[in-house]
Amino acid sequence: MFEIEHKGDVPRIEPLTFGPQLGGVPSPELGAGREWLVTDGLGGSATGTVSGLRTRPEHALLTVARPGRTPHVALAALDLTVTLHTGTKVPLYTHAWESGSVDPLGHRLLETFTLSAGLPRWRWRIGDVVIERTLAMSYGSPSLAVVHRVVSAPGPVGLTVAAMCTWREASGARRADGPGLRIEQVADGVLVEDAYRLAGPGWQPAGQWHLGARAGAVTEDLWLGGTFGGPAWPGETLEISAWAGDLAHRPPAPPLVLAAARERAHRLVTAAKAEGYAGSLALAADAFVLRAPFLADGYPWSGRAAPLAAYEGLLLDTGRADEGRDLLRALVERPGDGVDFPLWLVHAVDRHVTRTGDSDLAREVAVPLSRLLRQSLSGAGPLTVDPADGLLALAAGAAAPGGGRVGKLVEINALWVNALAALGDLLAEGGRDDARPRERHARARESFVRRFPAPEGWLHDVVEGPAAPYPLGAGTQHDDPTLRPYQLFAWSLPHAPMRGTAGVGVAAAGEALLTPLGLRTLAPDEYGYDGAHPEQGRVLPWLIGPYVDACAATGRPVDGLLDGITASRAEQGVGSVGEAAHGDAPHPPAGRPFDALAVAEALRVETRYAP
């Protein structure tokens, strides 16, 4: 994303710039290409492609997130046209259409795209005329600021910006033959659906549908609300605001919003005490830390919370422990969903207390955590403790991590052993030492070490799972030795059950599953491998975290393991880390371009192991 250099105590954030070839428009059939993202700290966003082509229904300049409701797309696009001194009108935007055409072709005039301090900036060249656009969102407010500037020209040029509007769920579509948009013309702009407002100079109302706009696989109709604009001399600007929430009060002027966003970026890098790639990841992590407190799982945002495995990277490695403490307290009081949520919550609290020395938090939450863990394993939920060996079994029909696996899962039980040891430490740290978690830890660890090693040398993925599809007869159970990456947790966690062992499974995972972008969920030579399938071969970049930890725990080198992910920061989600990639080389991107867990683990590993 950026290289971070320090001058005194003030970090200088070097921008990442693309030239005209890398900024070229991708075919709608080939996917999204390079994407950028700006967020408001509330789950709202502005996002799109470097070229300007909308290739997802979520691509928009203003998407509004509201508590308890699906994020809504408001302002789909601001289409910029320049009128030269000759009277020639030159569009600098592009759209894909239902007919299959891409028109107009404004992307061909894109000279550079730059991401600077987290803010996207486009620069178009029409001979000796250069026009620039920069945008930002206000942190903590659902508002967008856009500044157009005439960088150079032999004289004044005309700038016209068409506001393409809608109001719909972020992943949906709105058509002209459905309910019409409720529009109210107001001073220097328009109010749409009583949900958001646009304002800027030279407003001219319009009011017509543009039919058949494509955004990836979705086709929708966009409402031309009107245009902003007027003549501008070199150095002059055209500034537009779009905002939701408190519609009666205007946000600060766009230049002030941009300046505040740049200052915030520098504060974030300074707080993270990060340089180089870690500094860029600290900026990327900010997109997922919401003010609720809440961790968003990725963008396009689904409204779901990020897995707690992301806690350490997003909050501790960014210098945001105070926000982290508030989040942990809230989660202990109101636990989230997920089979493994209580286990990861114990881990997150343990890492927080270990790294910050926050004995007060340990004293406050250790007993409630113990109670939560006990309640989650009471038999009413999908996880139960097997009294025969003290390990956890996952019932059929549960939404298991890794999809469809039933029985005693290797990562669930590694987390269980880790949680029991961590809980014992937290109780002791909080002055409530209790021998029971330590006793249960010793028993579960002994059972894990005895039950999970497979004849192949690595660990079983599942023990005592269902026999099908194996021909072992009705009612029998099966130990599944399939080599998957989830066994890495048995070495990577702080209180991992296999710590101190040779780590044959770590070596095997590296040989069969490791790619430049992370680990595959299944080896290519395994039965059923499919590089496009989430659990049958797709690459998950976040798994580089447990792999690096497991390598370090077993004495294997870790240098260079992030190089591929580092190099990919300009290839999907610009400056960030994507959710997944195809299992086969060259590993084209899959899933969301901005993923909380992948960013968190890349940052944690970079911070911990960088030379």
In the chain, where are the structural domains located?
3-264, 275-309+502-611, 337-495
* Residue labelled with tokens 């992590």: 285
pLDDT value for 343: 97
Here the tokens at position 576 are: 């960030």
Whether residue 142 is preceded by a cis peptide bond, meaning omega within 30 degrees of 0, is no
Looking at residue 208, its pLDDT comes to 93
Q: How many CB atoms lie within 10 A of CB 572?
A: 26
* CA–CA dist 444, 421 (Å, integer): 10
Question: Under CATH, what is the fold of the domain 275-309+502-611?
Answer: Glycosyltransferase (1.50.10)
- The tokens for 95 are 């759209």
Q: Which CATH class is domain 3-264?
A: mainly beta
Q: Are 351 and 494 in contact (CB under 8 A)?
A: yes
Q: How far apart, in whole angstroms, are the C-alpha atoms of residue 4 and residue 246? A: 36
What is 563-606 written as a DSSP string? HHHHHGGGTSBTTS--SEE-SSTT--EES-SEEHHHHHHHHHHH
**CA separation (Å) from 385 to 373, 412, 442, 463?**
11, 12, 14, 14
Residue 430's pLDDT is 82
Q: Which residues pair with 185 in a beta bridge?
A: 190
pTM given for the model: 0.94
Within 8 A by CB and 6+ apart from 514, the residues are 520, 547
Same fold across 3-264 and 275-309+502-611: no
Q: What is the pLDDT of residue 467?
A: 66
Q: Could you tell me the strand order of the sheet in which 514-515 lies?
A: 514-515, 518-520, 539-540, 580-581, 589-590
Q: What is the mean pLDDT of each run of 10 residues along the chain (611 residues)?
A: 46 76 48 82 95 94 88 97 97 95 93 94 97 98 98 97 97 92 92 97 95 95 97 98 94 98 95 88 96 92 91 98 97 89 97 96 95 87 92 78 82 97 92 85 97 95 76 63 96 96 94 98 95 95 98 96 91 93 94 96 94 74
